[in-house]
Amino acid sequence: MEIIDLNEKYYSIYFKCLEDWSDDINEAGDHKEIWFNKFKDKGLRVKIAVEEEKACGMIQYLPIEHSMAKGKDLYFISCIWVHGHKQGIGNFQKRGIGTKLLEAAEEDVKLLNAKGIAAWGVSLPFWMKASWFRKKGYKKIDKNGMAVLLWKPFVEDAVPPKWIKEKKTPQLTEGKVNVTSFTNGWCLAQNMILERTKRAVQCFNDKVEFRIISTAEKESLCEWGICDALFVDGKEVRTGPPPSYEKIKKIIEKRVKKLKT
């Protein structure tokens, strides 16, 4: 196994987060590719773990100024993932590949003269576990719900990062069911939710007011304090793990029925 910089040979598999076998992933549209093309010349870095020419792991990180956190002279890890499914190429987890990817990213960031690196993790024991980063020397610095912000400074004068936290929620239009999707583009799971929501709202014609708010631009992200989210009538829908198309449709349908009463 070796760690390499992303190249064109692995673009298509990277855009599907190494899960090209998944029908669900195929619902995510081309938002990840658009996001990549937007930020590849703004400091976005991607490394791929390769074994026998198969991409089995990835890490992506970019200057924190383009991330969902506030900071300076730092890089931010938005995703680290080692293929762990039986489907496709099989399970490559529990072999130290994630550690090798993280170490490669840290060395790269040091060569870029950044003062440290930040990452986010989930406080519960599943994907992107905050506890995993703590074992690798990262320190918790901020929290936003279940999302934990961690960092590893490389120099003494590095300034700790902070989460950009929610500042406002979508306005409601009377006489309509209000559905708002915030989308950044970096995460395929969130992109799936956007595409499923787009399909679901089409079932209700003019009874639904549907808005898509892009947060790929930092100005928009800071205005709302929201990166990726789905709101129905001002209430945030839980999106982890990604709700199915049927579930999203059912949530909207319940609100539509209340319009008739």
What mean pLDDT, rounded, does the chain reach? 96
Report pTM: 0.94
Q: How far is residue 59's CA from residue 35's CA, in Å, rounded to a whole number?
A: 15
Residue of 207, 189, 195 lying closest to 245 (CA atoms): 195
Fold of 2-163: Aminopeptidase (3.40.630)
As to burial, measured by CB atoms within 10 angstroms (0-12 exposed, 13-18 middle, 19+ buried), residue 39 is: buried
Give the residue range(s) of CATH 3.40.30.10 domains in the chain: 177-259
Chain region(s) in the chain for CATH 3.40.630.30: 2-163
Is the domain covering 177-259 a CATH 3.40.30.10 domain? yes
Contacts of 7 (CB under 8 A, 6+ apart): none
Tokens representing residue 252 in the block: 């909207």
Q: Closest Cα partner for 227 from 185, 175, 193, 178? A: 185
- Cα angle value 122/182/244 (rounded, 5°): 70
pLDDT of residue 195: 98
Asked whether residue 261 carries a pLDDT value surpassing 70, the answer given is no
Q: What is the mean pLDDT of residues 40-52?
A: 97
How would you classify residue 17: left for phi > 0, otherwise alpha for psi between -120 and 50, otherwise beta?
A: left
Average pLDDT over residues 69-86: 97
pLDDT band at 205 (very low <50, low <70, confident <90, very high): confident
Q: How far apart are alpha carbons 7 and 56 in whole angstroms? A: 15
Per the omega criterion (within 30 degrees of 0), is the bond before 242 cis?
no
* High-pLDDT (> 70) share of the chain, %: 99
